[in-house]
A and B are shown apart, each in its own frame.
Chain A
């Protein structure tokens, strides 16, 4: 199942004989979701839990390239409490920016207190991703849009956000949970339809990764906006 891929910003550590992935903690000493902190040769790493983060799951399941790196600008839709967003923040480093869109004030509380407060590259936007016209504080060219909002119309939401903010040639990482789109249809059917929507909107599909056993009936689609 595990394929060790070469993504420079993601580190593979051997913990108790097991291979785990981790990112370098941008704000050493502070945990975001009770993840383990590990110091090796004076560098503090945060273990990245594939059961808590779908991006971690997709890396372990063989995502070939991470579209963002040190200094990139990312628009994250559905940042929730910041589990995944914080690891992206680690990777972007101080010169990058991650705009965290989240609709629910209840989870945004943790996002503010546990991530944004410490991480200078995070900018919170409490807003519905459908109302991208209301995003305040967005600036510059967006290199990557990451979307995980578990809504039936989320592919459309992701597409319209990309059309507005994503640079040409930029990437969209879209998590699809078949159950939140259609409970009755077969997951494979749902995935195919969402993929078609993306192609029709001018996205080139680079890779499709099933996320089981970490998340059942979920996939991550990596596409490029051309």
Chain B
């Protein structure tokens, strides 16, 4: 006789070919999702083996889930795939099968159980995806920094080494990659020809000055072998540079998915750094704007608390163009309004997930307003300096006191 193995939300059923119940295994209540997922993946929990071993005179099993079928046939079971007609029929009769098998006490109970399971499984799926992507972004932004650091280290090496041969070359470049590209292309300075440089995109004037300074360079002669080694390192710098591009676009793409609102406010890079600093999107969403404003400036913040001087106005978000390109006296205000918007954006990204175009617009309005209102630097307050000094001296006293207390052997706070 053939049996049919039917996996339901709250248990598994073995049926005969007339869809009469042969045997049932109810999943443990606390492990419904887990059991169901395991079975779908083709794992064989002990409960299933007990169910299958308990049934007699069944020589072949018809199985709906193909993964599970494969695992079972490895275990020596005679397995057949279910036909589409059978799958449809099982689905049509699912509710009554659940009642007949004792998995549910009534049709309503079966529906309730299915719905509760569907909700629990959905929650489980949402948790699974929502737990991960920000962690990957954190790794990626840290990898990006490490790649950048390595690139800079190797670049300095190339600069110093090649500098023995042609020290003047570096002064023509602002960008390290363009410099190493020239080295890896030409090698020795005597190969650097004006026409070739123009072909690479240099202006005629610049190409000319480079080739002239190659002719009159103060650098020493160099052997082919050393040039080859320098060029090896130069190529590595170029490769790391394109690796950086890859990571940058990875971060941009994923920030757009994971934190679209933060990305709209401060861009993918700064957004990712903020998330990395605090250790996750949810955590960022829990922070007040004032903390977000100084995130990444902990050193300066603690120094300020210790010495009772003014706290820093901005940390990571200082990299935002709107802040560092603004006049000094506006920066605090800009930083504050950006931090406020990040806090709102982070909460939407972490808990609601929709794109809210309004945040970015309101930020721009506020930035324009700051620019208009505070065009002139504020007049210096004369009193400010003595007041700060006073505070400083008072603070020093307390520290001395503390020290004294410590020596006496009193408890430290």
Contact = CB atoms under 8 A, between A and B. Distances in A.
A116 B125 CA distance: 15
Contacts of B125: 105, 126
B9 interface: yes
Contact of A107 (B95, B119, B122, B353): B353
Nearest to B36: A136
Contacts of B130: 105
Contact of B115 (A120, A140, A164): A120
Nearest to B94: A139
A131 to B, nearest CB: 12
A125 interface: yes
B174 to A, nearest CB: 41
B91 A139 contact: yes
B384 interface: no
What's the interface size class on A, roughly?
Answer: 20 to 34
B118 A137 contact: yes
A124 interface: yes
Contacts of A105: 125-126, 129-130
B50 interface: no
A108 interface: yes
A165 B88 CA distance: 8
B250 interface: no
A137 B91 contact: no
Given A123-B115, A136-B118, A164 B88 contact: yes
A9 B373 CA distance: 57
A139 B123 CA distance: 20
B173 interface: no
Residue among B84, B118, B129, B353 with most chain A CB within 10 A: B118
B114 interface: yes
A34 to B, nearest CB: 13
A107 B352 CA distance: 8
A54 B36 CA distance: 36
A13 interface: no
B121 interface: yes
A217 to B, nearest CB: 22
A181 interface: no
A117 B118 CA distance: 11
A123 B88 contact: no
B95 A109 contact: no
A108 B119 CA distance: 11
Interface string A109-152: 11010001100101111100000000011111100000000000
A136 B353 contact: no
B126 A137 contact: no
Contacts of A139: 91-92, 94-95, 114
Contacts of A106: 353-354
Contacts of A164: 84, 88
B99 to A, nearest CB: 12
Given A120-B115, A137-B115, A164-B88, A112 B95 contact: no
Contacts of B247: none
Contacts of A97: 111
| The 10 A-B residue pairs with the shortest CB-CB distance in the complex, in nearest-first order | A106-B353, A139-B94, A137-B118, A124-B122, A126-B125, A105-B129, A123-B118, A126-B122, A105-B126, A137-B114
